[in-house]
Structure 1
Amino acid sequence: MRFISVAISLVLIACSSACLAAATCLEPVRPDRAFLEDAGFSPAEIRTEYRTYFTDVEDFLNCLNDVAARVRTEARTAAYDFDRALKELPQDRQSLSGSEDGFAPSTVPLQETGRLFLSQEDR
């Protein structure tokens, strides 16, 4: 029993750190030339600060692209699952024209556009 709880704990720790790393894109701080000069940085050190900043910007933008691609894939998968559930789950006559809460399944076909349409008004 103890082995199972330890195994579950390890899985949760691994998942939470991986999920946290995937969602944290740290925005770089732009160097301030005047501040760097006042702080006594040499011209070579100032150039190094700017080069580091541009490398950090590239890493940040790549991180955002990776997160956006992952979320887009998850949303697409959820949309297909939801569409399949709407088609497979039994519906009564009332839900064919819309349910009590006003929700009616969309008839918009799923497309691979890179955009997520949550309603027909978004088109």
Structure 2
Amino acid sequence: MQDKPENLSREYILPDGRSVTVGDQLFRAPEALFAPREVEAQGPGVVGMVLRSLARCSSRIQLDILRNVVLSGGSTLFQGFKERLLKDLQAAIPSIAPVKIFSPENRILTAFRNMWITREDYYEVGEHKVKDI
């Protein structure tokens, strides 16, 4: 039997040595991504956004998209995010459309991929290259 969210807590040690205990916030913050109304926020939530994006695509590629959902960004690192998204997407679409979600290890940095510069480029072009990014 799993503990209820209200019975779970985690202690974190801050850089200055103090400790902070976090309880149901561990569950409430990520839940807002799936059910924004629970925290009185506007918007469709993650699943709604995926479905909206999918609906804007040609029907010829929708199945391919569902088989190639890629997580990116720090919020996708919440424990259970991938599993919850998979469960909710599978519930929202017909069972004939298989969903496959990929979660790259470095997904927290995916949004910054176009802003990377190699050491060689920096030494060749200098700080001007960094300013252009």
Common fold: TM-score over 0.5? no
Which structure is higher in RCO with an 8 Å CA cutoff and minimum separation 6? 1
Shorter-normalised TM-score: what interval?
Answer: under 0.3
Give the TM-score, by structure 2 length: 0.26
Which one has a larger percent strand, Structure 1 or Structure 2?
A: 2
Identify, as 1 or 2, the structure richer in helix: 1
Rg larger in 1 or in 2?
1
